[in-house]
Amino acid sequence: MFGDDVDEGDVLVSLCDLKTYYGEDSLLSDDPVKAVDGVSFDIHKGETLGLVGESGCGKTTLGRTLIQLEDATAGEVRIGDTDVTTLTGDDLQRWRRNSQMVFQDPESSLNDRMTVGAIIREPLDVHDWKTPRERRARVRELLDTVGLSEEHYYRYPHQFSGGQRQRVGIARALALEPEFVVLDEPVSALDVSVQAQILNLLNRLQDEFGLTYLFIAHDLSVVRHICDRVAVMYLGNVMELGPTERLFQQPQNPYTHALLSAIPEPDPTADSDRITLTGSPPSPRDPPAGCPFATRCPMKIRPPEYDSVDTEVWARVEMLREVLRERSNADRSLTERAREILGLSSRFSSADEVHDELFADVTLPAAVEDHIEEAMDHVRNDNETRARAQLREAFGSVCDEERPKSHVVDDESGTSRCHRHRDEHDEPSRSQVVSE
Amino acid sequence: MSAEAPLLAVENLRTEFYTDKETVRAVDDVNFRIERGETLGIVGESGSGKSVTARSIMGLVESPGNVLPESSIRLDGEELTEKSESEYRGIRGSEVTMVFQDPLTSLNPVYTVGNQLKETLRLHRDLDGQTLTDTAIGLLEDVGIPDAARRISEYPHEFSGGMQQRAVIALALACDPELLICDEPTTALDVTIQAQILELLAEIQVERDIGIMFITHDMGVIAEVADRVAVMYAGEIVESAPVRSLYSDPAHPYTNGLLDSIPGNQPGGRELTTIEGEVPIPNGAATHCRFAPRCPKAFEECYELAPEPLPTTAGKDDHTAACLLFPEDMKREDAVDEHRAANTEGTDE
């Protein structure tokens, strides 16, 4: 078996520059969707590693790639000396036996036409585990392990509540005694009281069977409760990874800051010093050339000559860049294109409105205004690419141009990707965010 | 007269659903009011009757469901339960509007966002021509959609999840409603986007002085948005209090259970407190406390007597709990008698 000789706390699975792209092999495709775009980290035996991020950041794809439900485009998933991404045939089947997945939605991940017993027995059948009699006995044992009872063997999923179904999903994942389990949002669909039951169950099972979890979630309070270390993903990249408490108390990456501050606290007296991010993540088809988070980062490095520009004004300038960026990505229908070619309408006609909307109530410093006027002229001349390039040249910084490296940010080799960790810049901190 | 009346007063609301087997009291004798500029948060687990309460107010309960005749829902002093379907149609979408959990179910995928906004404006506000377009663009700008003039001609699928929800809010605001009902408006969104939407709702409320009924299962979100909170369980409001009071002094064992099972609330400990069992289906008149079978503090009388919402301590009228342990400054037997008295009073009426 894989990883049998690994001690508690040693590296079990090691990801090395892992990339998973979708849609690049199709004839008609544009740029591929870069769902996972160069991720490297280790998962230690016996730990629970949390993987958090907004929807579309690639966390589920990463989990699925790990257990080879998706093919990696490049990079390695190493377990001991084996690269899992290259496995085929019997070897691949052995790895799959050893790594299992629990899915988010217990409504759709269980076949409604099979009895619960058959569902849990299926992996045993597929892998031809022992004799049928022993399989049935194993299923009964599993039902008991996850807090269901033997009498549930012949029932159907629709007779169960959400929490019970998720227990069935967990029993199925544990059937072949895996070492490594990917939990993809296992409690997101459950009510808070049921969620607590499932989290307790997962903790107990981990202790009992020495399991290693990759826990994918977007609910940060759940992650804080159950995980030993947490990796924060954004647009296919791991922005920060570190021990849970350090990460929650002293987040080092601007994205982690923002993400954590967005959690509503169950305490009405709490002061919220929230950083509200504007906009939404860029398309993974066309990620920013520099730092993935640059388009929304409230702590983005400015060119030195604009350091004194008012934060609000600067935010508007960035917003103009974002609007132009988004327009270039917007799908245009054939009729729209035709109308444009015929000169019947132009999608740029509203550019002046955007400009007015953004800058009507602020006074721009002369240096800034000149650049913006120049860019607006390009837009009016239907040359949006020029406009974007021009703004980028004028207001861009290292954040727009270079992908940040991973910097070690704590004693436990936690890492964070941000240009501000470099010596010549100030460390990212809250003080750089001026709230509205 | 209506200057004194609260924006929304719900009294004895009871909504039943009839099935072959039984009658389910999805909402069972619910009372609350919402003032202008106020947000009432309603929390509870799935199946507690939150959404049915909202639908009852909107007049959207359909067969086999039925709002019982003794229920009263008054908006600005005007009784809604007696309205005919066509009268209701004039109220829905103009005076009371609703924002649902999944924005894609409220937006029609084959019409542009602008088209849908304009339809609402045309029907309820009788606008046309350039005014219509300008108002629609203005609404999208109000809800923070950048580049509104262009995006108005886009289809819902071209919007991101957060933007879709903003568009739905724009639709809900199109006719200057007095009451906005939000049914889990941020549950399908990421936390960063949720933060944007909550901020937007708070701004809108201040600007327009509307009442908001905010339904969620997330105790964190409630703490942030609500002025007062009603905790629902199996069709009943089991506790009602100003938000601070609810979190600092949760009374009902169910509220305590809900707060305790939030993972972030218990640092260090590996084992989370849970509420064992599940929400029962309220399929008959309450003859006892519906939470008793799951309640860690239940005693004999809990299985014999249905508790009434009483002040948690004498005189504290704004914080009530339907639990035989309260009012807590009374001896238990006296408190039980108090509930028994309130109970018979209710049946006499």
A252-278, pLDDT tens digit by residue? 999 999 999 888 888 888 776 788 787
Q: Across the strands, what pairs with B40? A: B213, B228
Helix axes A162-174, A116-126, angle to 10 degrees: 20
Asked if the Cβ–Cβ distance from B217 to A326 is below 8 Å, we say: no
Measured between beta carbons, the chain B residues lying within 8 angstroms of A191 are 45-46, 217
By CB atoms closer than 10 A (0-12, 13-18, 19+), residue A284 is buried
Peptide bond into B327 cis (omega under 30): yes
Give the nearest chain B residue to A56 (CA atoms): B190
What pLDDT does residue A434 have? 41
Asked if the Cβ–Cβ distance from B259 to A266 is below 8 Å, we say: yes
Q: How far apart, in whole angstroms, are the C-alpha atoms of residue A91 and residue B88?
A: 65
Return the SS3 of A183: strand
Residue count of chain B, please give it: 349
Does ipTM top 0.95?
no
Q: How far apart, in whole angstroms, are the C-alpha atoms of residue A68 and residue B306?
A: 55
B:81-110 residues touching chain A, CB 8 A cutoff = none
Q: How far is CA B85 from CA B68, B90, B121, B123, B331, in A?
A: 16, 9, 20, 16, 50
Closest Cβ opposite residue A197 in set B191, B270, B274: B274
The pTM of this model reads 0.85
A132-141, Cβ contacts within 8 angstroms, sequence gap of 24 or more: A138/A175, A139/A171, A139/A175
Measured between beta carbons, the chain A residues lying within 8 angstroms of B226 are 268
pLDDT above 50: residue A111: yes
- pLDDT per residue as tens digits for the range B66-111: 999 999 999 998 999 989 989 998 888 889 999 988 888 889 999 9
What Rg value do the Cα atoms of chain B yield, rounded?
Answer: 21
Q: How far is A384 from chain B (nearest CA, A)?
A: 15
pLDDT above 80: residue A2: no
pLDDT above 80: residue B220: yes
Fold adopted by A11-227: Rossmann fold (3.40.50)
Q: How far is CA B135 from CA A121, A395, B93, B173, B276, in A?
A: 60, 35, 16, 11, 52
Asked if the Cβ–Cβ distance from A196 to B263 is below 8 Å, we say: yes
Element (H, E) at A408: strand A406-408
More confident residue, B214 or B126: B214
Average pLDDT, integer, range A345-351: 56
B167 and B159 in contact (C-beta within 8 Å)? yes
Q: How far is B110 from chain A (nearest CA, A)?
A: 14
Interface with chain B: mutation pick from A165, A192, A208, A253, highest number of B CBs within 10 Å: A192
Query: Which residues touch A124 (CB under 8 Å, ≥6 apart)?
Result: A130, A135, A138, A139, A175, A176
Asked if the Cβ–Cβ distance from B149 to A319 is below 8 Å, we say: no
Measured between beta carbons, the chain A residues lying within 8 angstroms of B258 are 192-193
Q: Which one, of A230, A169, A167, A233, lies nearest residue A20 by Cα?
A: A233
Asked if the Cβ–Cβ distance from B46 to A192 is below 8 Å, we say: no
Asked if B217 reaches chain A (Cβ–Cβ under 8 Å), the answer is yes
What pLDDT does residue A340 have? 60
Burial letters for B223-244: b for 16+ Cβ neighbours within 10 Å, e otherwise? bbbbbbbbbbbbbbbbbbbebe
Asked if B243 reaches chain A (Cβ–Cβ under 8 Å), the answer is yes
Q: How far is CA A16 from CA A6, A40, A52, A66, in A?
A: 19, 4, 19, 11
pLDDT above 50: residue A242: yes
Place of tokens 């979890």: A213
Interface with chain B: mutation pick from A59, A193, A435, highest number of B CBs within 10 Å: A193
Interface with chain A: mutation pick from B155, B191, B245, highest number of A CBs within 10 Å: B191
Q: How far is A83 from chain B (nearest CA, A)?
A: 34
Q: What is the DSSP string of A284-320?
A: TTS--SS-TTTTT-TTPPPPGGGTTS-HHHHHHHHHH
Domain positions in chain A are 11-227, 304-396
Average pLDDT, integer, range A172-201: 90
Q: How far apart, in whole angstroms, are the C-alpha atoms of residue A317 and residue A311?
A: 10
Domain positions in chain B are 102-174
Q: How far apart, in whole angstroms, are the C-alpha atoms of residue B280 and residue B44?
A: 13
Asked if the Cβ–Cβ distance from A161 to B278 is below 8 Å, we say: yes
